Amino acid sequence: MNNPWTTQSSRLVYETPWLRVIEDQVVRPDGADGIYSYIETRVAVAAVALTPANEVYLVGQYRYPTQHYSWELVEGGAEPDEAPLTCIQRELREEAGLRARKWSPLGNEIHFSNCISAERGYIFLAEELEETQSAPDATEVLEVRVVPLDDALEMVYQGEIQDAFSIIGLLRAQRHIIERTVG
């Protein structure tokens, strides 16, 4: 289980506020010299914002890299030094105009594409919601819908929700609710 790679040097080859590309000179597991390039990005955070009637908030937006319209959980990227929970509280306010009085972590850290990316994600269940002022980013054009969790799960099963983070968040919320109902 030890790291079979040796890093000889590391350089930053490209950087934006959201994306860093790292190129490492390595010795590979088979002993040969090589290059391993990967990306670093902001910590990703998602919220399953749940009403007492087991409805959830979904956000719709056009995603530039995949060139398609995507229905997702409330999601965001943490600023440097911003805690995941603080980030998602901000995003829930900005994107859905909501504040939640009850927050629970939903499962462990997720890795989205661990062959080429160091990105890590955390999911929270947000409950006891109250409306506040929303303030979307200038770069975001968002729609917000409140749908029964069962309908959102059906969107997962039918492949209408394709965002890995949202798929996992909704399935974890389902399991969480079943477990606490069953006791």
Q: How far apart are the first and last CA of the chain?
A: 37
Q: Does 86 bind a copy of itself (CB under 8 A)?
A: no
50-58, 62-70, 78-86, 90-98 -> range binding a copy of itself (CB under 8 A): 62-70
Measure the CA–CA gap between 5 and 18, rounded to whole angstroms: 27
Q: Does 112 bind a copy of itself (CB under 8 A)?
A: yes
Measure the CA–CA gap between 141 and 158, rounded to whole angstroms: 25
Residue type, 80: P
The kind and range of the H/E element at 49 are strand 44-49
Strands 120-131 and 44-49: parallel
Q: Does 12 bind a copy of itself (CB under 8 A)?
A: no
Cβ-based nearer residue to a copy of itself, 97 or 107: 107
Q: Does 5 bind a copy of itself (CB under 8 A)?
A: yes
Measure the CA–CA gap between 148 and 51, rounded to whole angstroms: 9
Binding interface with a copy of itself (CB under 8 A): 1-5, 13-14, 16, 18-19, 21, 24, 26, 28-30, 32, 34-39, 41, 44, 60, 62-67, 69-70, 75, 77, 107-121, 138-141, 157-160, 162-165, 167-168, 171, 175
